Amino acid sequence: MKSKIAIGADHAGFAYKEEIKVWLENKGYDVEDFGTYSEASADYADFAHPVALAVEEGRAERGVLVCGSGQGVSITANKHQGIRAALVWAPELAALSRQHNNANIICLPERFISAETALQSVDIFLNTEFEGGRHERRVAKISC
> Which one of the listed residues 11, 49, 67, 80 is annotated catalytic?
67
What whole-number distance in Å separates Cα of residue 38 and Cα of residue 35?
A: 8
Pairing of strands 85-87, 105-109: parallel
pLDDT at 116: 98
Query: Is position 100 annotated as part of the catalytic site?
Result: yes
Calculate mean pLDDT across residues 104-128. 98
pLDDT at 133: 85
> Which one of the listed residues 11, 49, 80, 100 is annotated catalytic?
100
Calculate mean pLDDT across residues 53-68. 98
* Number of compact structural domains in the chain: 1
Domain that holds residue 58: 4-140
| Per-residue model confidence as pLDDT tens digits over 65-115 | 999 999 999 999 999 999 999 999 999 999 999 999 999 999 999 999 999
pTM of the full predicted structure?
Answer: 0.97
pLDDT at residue 144 tops 80: no
What whole-number distance in Å separates Cα of residue 11 and Cα of residue 17?
A: 10
pLDDT at residue 57 tops 80: yes
33: domain CATH number?
3.40.1400.10
Residue 107, SS3 per DSSP: strand
Looking at every residue in the chain, the average pLDDT score rounds to 96
Give the list of residues 6+ apart from residue 127 with CB closer than 8 angstroms, or none. none
pLDDT at 1: 64
| Per-residue model confidence as pLDDT tens digits over 4-47 | 999 999 999 999 999 999 999 999 999 999 999 999 999 999 99
